[in-house]
Amino acid sequence: MKILVLGGGGREHALVWKLRQSPRVEKIWCAPGNGGIAAEAECVAVDAGDVTAIIALAEKIQPHLTIVGPERPLVNGLTDAFRQRNWAIVGPSEQAAQLEGSKIFSKKFLERHALPTAKMYGAYESPRDVYSVLSSVTWPAVIKADGLCAGKGVFLAPHLAAAKDFVERVMEKNELGPGGRRILLEETLEGEELSFILLTDGKRYAPLVPTRDHKRVFDGNQGPNTGGMGAYSTDELLPIDLAETIRSTIVEPCLDGLAAEGIAYQGFLYIGLMLTNHGPKVLEFNCRLGDPEAQAILARLDFDLAEILSDVAAGCFNPSKLRWKPGASACVVLTSGGYPGKFENSQPIEGLTAAEQITGVKVLHAGTKLSGESVVTNGGRVLGVTAAARSLEAALASAYEAVSRIHFAGMHYRKDIGAHQTGRKAAGD
């Protein structure tokens, strides 16, 4: 089997890593890939979000299966174009991808189908309209840019002044680009977050192992949101009774709602949840594997990923084939200094080989590239140091030991990944 993976982040490196372990796979391409993926697949310098260019690439290399990593190709209609040509691909349609591509579309879908979610104050297309309602809002409140913003479009506003500042930067100064042209304003939910990700062929579905990510850039959930600073997976996150509640009140009503609206959904569906005192409520949808959740999930995988995803694309998915390693996993993301703001690229990275000498550790590349014989930084989120072990404590210990062996100028990471779950102190304290 020949497979094309689209994307160039840590999620895509994790996919390539596991696909290579399948005896069915003879060739993997990745577009555009990164400095780490280049050691495990043939990287092709094509923008994953450029539908025309990806179609041309697929016509040239003729993969048996294409797997979409990031959201932009989905929102741009790539899967529709592939299916029109009868090419096998994993990912939802352009229409279905609006669950992620538009926060307003997603919110209205949740309300139409009575899925539990935060109360919406309103959706707005001009800053003047937003300013006119802010005085009636209960603080803190959540402000969401409607479109795709690389994980940086959600702001928890503690008070009126902060809300006005965010709206001005997003809607008037255009700091988030087209994704910030419309704004969603809603109440704040309190509780613990949970990433609930499932895989479906449009008829059958199965949940993946549960994960929890860390979105804020600094320890203690301080600072601005990012694309994700780390994640961990342990079955303790999802007791049986909670899993049943999520299934009956959220997952199946969601899938039934999509079917009722004639929206075909195939691929990964990420449901971001807040576990409140009044039960789980939906925060957001993503139409693909999360990043860094994918790294933690795939580290626990104990089945042939190529076989399963091929079955999903063909509409013959058998959920009973999904098997998982017991224990836990953790991913600690290393970022360039200054991220999610301005940062410098092309910093040499040292210690990658030493880090992977630790049992159970895999260093998954994101913002990296090759410069001669060296690997250098090439983005905000640079590496995802991932470990699997018999317990979460052991997985975290291995991941942080590996982190201590890696260095590049300006390197930043959170020292408290998984600390709430284990009750441990931040690494290095």
Please state the pTM of the whole predicted model: 0.95
CA distance 7 to 369: 14
Range of the domain at 130: 126-181
Residue that terminates a domain, selected from 301, 321, 341:
321
Give the end of a domain, one of 321, 339, 363.
Answer: 321
Considering the domain architecture, whether residues 280 and 337 belong to the same structural domain is answered as no
Residues 233 and 304 both lie in one domain: yes
9 falls within a domain:
yes
* 395 and 418 assigned to the same domain: yes
Q: What is the DSSP letter of 298?
A: H
Q: Strand order in 65-68's β-sheet?
A: 42-43, 27-32, 2-7, 65-68, 89-90
Within this chain, do residues 175 and 66 fall inside the same structural domain, yes or no? no
246/209 same-domain check: yes
- In a domain, residue 106? The reply is no
- Report the CATH number that the domain containing residue 32 is assigned in CATH: 3.40.50.20
Round to whole Å and give the CA distance between 124 and 183: 5
Calpha distance 269→266 (Å, rounded) = 8
Kindly give the confidence (pLDDT) of every residue in the chain, 429 residues in length, as a single tens digit, with 9 standing for 90 and above.
999 999 999 999 999 999 999 999 999 999 999 999 999 999 999 999 999 999 999 999 999 999 999 999 999 999 999 999 999 999 999 999 999 999 999 999 999 999 999 999 999 999 999 999 999 999 999 999 999 998 789 999 999 999 999 999 999 999 999 999 999 999 999 999 999 999 999 999 999 999 999 999 999 999 998 999 999 999 999 999 999 999 999 999 999 999 999 998 999 999 999 999 999 999 999 999 999 999 999 999 999 999 999 999 999 999 999 999 999 999 999 999 999 999 999 999 999 999 999 999 999 999 999 999 999 999 999 999 999 999 999 999 999 999 999 999 999 999 999 998 987 555 655
DSSP-based three-state secondary structure for 244 = helix
Cα–Cα nearest to 385, from 407, 369, 376: 407
CA distance 70 to 73: 7
Tell me, yes or no, whether 358 and 317 share the same domain: no
In a domain, 117, yes or no: no
Q: Are residues 26 and 70 in the same domain?
A: yes
Tokens 């009126």 belong to residue: 160
- Indicate the number of domains in the chain: 4
Do both 332 and 317 map to the same domain? Answer: no
Instruction: Report residue 223 as tokens.
Output: 């600072």
Do 248 and 145 fall into the same domain? no
Same domain, 59 and 152: no
Residue 384 in 3-state DSSP?
Answer: strand
CATH number at residue 217: 3.30.470.20
Provide the token pair at 43. 């990287």
Residue 364 covered by a domain: yes
Asked if residue 280 lies in contact with residue 249, where contact means CB atoms within 8 angstroms, the answer is yes
Residues 300 and 341 in one domain: no
Question: CB-hemisphere CA count at 13 Å for 7?
Answer: 24
Per DSSP, the three-state class of 301 is strand
| Residue 308 and residue 345 in one domain | no
